[in-house]
Amino acid sequence: MATRRIAEILRNAQPQEQVTIKGWVRTARELKEFTFVEVNDGSFLANLQVVLDGSLANYDTLLQEITTGASVEISGVLVESPAKGQRIELKASEVRVYGGADPETYPLQKKRHSFEFLRTIGHLRSRTNTIGAVFRVRNACAAAIHQFFQERGFLWVHTPIITANDCEGAGELFSVTSFNLKNIPLTPQQTVDYTQDFFGKPAYLTVSGQLEAEIMAMAFRDVYTFGPTFRAENSNTSRHLAEFWMIEPEMAFCDLEGNMQLAEEFLKFVFASVLEACPEDMEFFNQRINDTVLETAQNIIHNQFERVTYTEAIRLLEKADKKFEYPVNWGLDLQSEHERYLAEDLFKKPVIVTDYPVEIKAFYMRLNDDEKTVRAMDVLAPNIGEIIGGSQREERLEILEKRIQAQGMNPEDLWWYLELRRYGTVPHAGFGLGFERLVQFMTGMSNIRDVIPFPRAPLTIEF
C-alpha cells in the first residue's frame, strides 16, 4: 500500500480507510490497555494519533522501542476519534520501528525549548512544531513567489554567486580565494600562497544579482532572480544574516511607478497564497509566536500601501512625539526605528518611501531632475522595517559614468554595464526583497536565524 502523508490524511481521509504512514514519534503515552503514539511526518502541524493495543503481535517489545524521536512505519485502519480536537485516529495493525531514540539522551524532550537552545541542535530542530511550521511557510512562500512571476511572464534568471563587482558599493563583501589541493607543494622547499584570489583576479560572493539581472532584462524585458546572496554583515542583529536569499525582479520599459505597483501586488499575492496554503501554520504563529500575525497579513492584503517621499518622511519624523536613538536629518539614512515608526505607529500599514538623497543610495539609481535625490523606493512594513529596497535605474550613459566616478569606482570595471546604456538603453526598474526578512515578517518570528534552515551569522557556523 502506498504511504500517505499525514497532512493529506488529516485533511481528507475518512474512517474505515486502510493507510500506511511513515514518520517520527513525537510522544508515546502508555495506558493500561492501549498506547497512544503521536506521529509527525513534517507535512502538517498536527500529529496523527495512533492507537496500539495488545492485539499487535509484538506489542511488548514495541513499547520499549516506540519512544520520542523513533522513526516508524505504521499501517492500520482509520477510525473516528473519541478524543476532542481530532477527527480521526489510526488503529495500528502493523508497526515497524526503523530506528529507536534513547529517551535519556534525545535532545527534544516534551517541553518548550528556547529558540537559542534549538539553534544549537540545528540538525534536529525541524522536528519541533514551530520550526516545522516555519519551513512549511517558507516553502509555500517560495512556491508563491515563483507562481507570481511565472504567471506574469517573468523569466527566472540565474545570476552568478561568484562575481567581480560590489553591486551595492557598500563594501560588505566576502572574497573568494582559490585553493586547489592538487597544487599543494610536494617538497618543503615549495611554498603555497594561501591568499590567492580567483585565478589571478579578485572575486567576491555576490551581494546582489541586480547588475546581472539588468543584463538579462535588456533582452527578456521582465526577469527575476531568486537565489543566495552574501554580505559580510558586521552587526549582530535579529534581521541580518551573512547568507540570505534574495528575490530581485528587473523590468525593462518600466519606471518607479510600475516598480511600486509590482512590489505592492507581489506582497499582497504572496501573503494571500501562504494563508491559503498553510492556514494551520499561520494560525499557530498567531497563537503562539505573535498575536499580530494574522492581522498583519490582512493589513497587507487589503490596505493600499502609503506612499511618501523621503523629504516628507523626514518632516514626519521631525514632528513625531517620540524620542529616537538615532538622529533624523535630511541627508541621513533612515534607521530601523524610524522605518518602524512610520509603518507601525504613524500609518499603521506598509509605507513606500521614495526619492532618497543621492549620497546615501547606490550609484545605479536614476538621478532626479533636482540632482539631489534619486528614484529609490524602500518598502517599510510594521514590525520589521525595511523589507524591500528598489529603484528605477539610471539609463543615461553620461550621467551613469559620472555617478560611478563620484563613488570612487572605476568605470572600466563596469564597461559591460555601461554598454547596456550605449546599445538600446531603456528606462528600467526593479527591487530586491530579502526572502528570510519576508518569512520572518510573515511568521512573526523574532530572530531571522530561526527562519532559515542553516543560519550563517557571526558565531553560528555549525555545519
Where do contacts with ligand ATP occur on this chain (CB under 6 A)?
Answer: 168, 231, 233, 239-241, 244, 246, 386-389, 432-434, 436-437
Q: Whole-angstrom Cα distance, residue 103 to residue 112?
A: 16
Closest residue to Mg ion, Cβ-based?
Answer: 389
User: What is the number of alpha carbons within 13 Å of residue 324 lying toward its C-beta?
Assistant: 20
Question: Least CB distance from residue 41 to Mg ion, whole Å?
Answer: 38
Cβ closest to ligand ATP, residue 353 vs residue 387: 387
**Phi/psi at 52 (nearest 5 deg)?**
-110, 140
Neighbours of 151 (CB within 10 A): 9
Cβ closest to ligand ATP, residue 216 vs residue 241: 241
Question: Least CB distance from residue 423 to ligand ATP, whole Å?
Answer: 28
Q: How far is CA 87 from the centre of its chain?
A: 33
Cβ closest to ligand ATP, residue 9 vs residue 384: 384
Question: Least CB distance from residue 355 to Mg ion, whole Å?
Answer: 14
Cβ closest to Mg ion, residue 90 vs residue 167: 167
Q: Which helix (H) or strand (E) covers residue 176, if one does? A: none
381-400: contacts with Mg ion (CB under 5 A): 386, 389
72, interface contact from ligand ATP, Mg ion, none, CB < 5-8 Å by kind: none
| C-beta of residue 337 within 8 angstroms of C-beta of residue 326 | yes
Question: Least CB distance from residue 380 to ligand ATP, whole Å?
Answer: 9
Minimal CA–CA distance to 88: which of 101, 98, 96, 77? 77
Q: Whole-angstrom Cα distance, residue 380 to residue 346?
A: 12
The DSSP-derived string for 307-349 is: EEEHHHHHHHHHH-SS--SS---TTSPPPHHHHHIIIIIISSS
455, interface contact from ligand ATP, Mg ion, none, CB < 5-8 Å by kind: none
Question: Least CB distance from residue 378 to Mg ion, whole Å?
Answer: 6
Question: Least CB distance from residue 239 to ligand ATP, whole Å?
Answer: 6
Cβ closest to ligand ATP, residue 168 vs residue 395: 168
388, interface contact from Mg ion, ligand ATP, none, CB < 5-8 Å by kind: ligand ATP
148, interface contact from ligand ATP, Mg ion, none, CB < 5-8 Å by kind: none
Neighbours of 440 (CB within 10 A): 24
Cβ closest to ligand ATP, residue 37 vs residue 241: 241
Question: Least CB distance from residue 432 to ligand ATP, whole Å?
Answer: 4
433, interface contact from ligand ATP, Mg ion, none, CB < 5-8 Å by kind: ligand ATP
Q: Whole-angstrom Cα distance, residue 210 to residue 206?
A: 10
Minimal CA–CA distance to 386: which of 431, 314, 335? 335
Per DSSP, the three-state class of 358 is helix
**Contacting residues for 300 by C-beta, under 8 A, at least 6 apart:** 267, 268, 271, 349, 350, 381
Question: Least CB distance from residue 358 to ligand ATP, whole Å?
Answer: 16
Cβ closest to Mg ion, residue 283 vs residue 306: 306
Cβ closest to Mg ion, residue 218 vs residue 328: 328
Cβ closest to ligand ATP, residue 241 vs residue 445: 241
Cβ closest to ligand ATP, residue 26 vs residue 231: 231
* DSSP-based helix, strand, coil % in the chain, nearest 5: 35, 25, 40
Burial of residue 116, with CB atoms counted within 10 A of its CB: 0-12 exposed, 13-18 middle, 19 or more buried: exposed
Question: Least CB distance from residue 7 to ligand ATP, whole Å?
Answer: 29
241, interface contact from Mg ion, ligand ATP, none, CB < 5-8 Å by kind: ligand ATP
382, interface contact from Mg ion, ligand ATP, none, CB < 5-8 Å by kind: none
How many angstroms separate the Cα of 260 from the Cα of each of 63, 257, 283? 59, 5, 29
| C-beta of residue 40 within 8 angstroms of C-beta of residue 132 | yes
The grid coordinates of residue 44 equal 502538517
Q: Near Mg ion by CB under 5 A, which window of 54-62, 289-297, 352-360, 378-386? A: 378-386
172, interface contact from ligand ATP, Mg ion, none, CB < 5-8 Å by kind: none
168, interface contact from Mg ion, ligand ATP, none, CB < 5-8 Å by kind: ligand ATP
Question: Least CB distance from residue 263 to Mg ion, whole Å?
Answer: 13
**Which residues of this protein are in contact with Mg ion, per CB under 5 A?**
386, 389
